[in-house]
Amino acid sequence: MTRKNMGIAGLAMPVMIAMLLMFAVARSVAANGEPSAANVVKIDNFVFEPQTITVPVGGTVTWTNSDDIPHTAVSTDGVFKSKVMDTDEKFSYTFTKSGTYSYYCSIHPKMTGKVVVQ
């Protein structure tokens, strides 16, 4: 290796380590700050996806409206009720008791889904 190459390697190493550290920090922020992808119900094309979602007791489910028309998520038993979600709006609810929670879209009642808390 020439002296010039050694210089580049010596500079590149700390930069790479710094980038790796920044990547690790960004990842841990995403893991703690945002709801995990597993607890997200996406609404698109008049469908709740996944139609049945299972979360632990104390888990939070976040509904995200990815459709270009408004939807809601309303518990059949009145446990939770979102406001009307326009495109890209979200609604979250934390489930503190185990059970099966059926819900539907009050604007389009044929849209149904289920949250299983266990």
Query: How far apart are the C-alpha atoms of 16 and 1, rounded to whole Å?
Result: 20
Q: Report the nearest approach of Cu ion to the CB of residue 72 (Å).
A: 6
Q: Report the nearest approach of Cu ion to the CB of residue 71 (Å).
A: 3
Q: Report the nearest approach of Cu ion to the CB of residue 66 (Å).
A: 12
42 touches Cu ion by CB under 5 A: no
Q: Point out which residues pair with 44 in neighbouring strands.
A: 47
Task: Provide φ and ψ at 32, rounded to 5°.
Answer: -90, -35
Name the residue nearer to Cu ion (CB basis): 35 or 70. Answer: 70
- CA angle 88–92–96, rounded 5-degree value: 165
Tell me which residues touch Cu ion (CB under 5 A): 71, 105, 107-108, 111
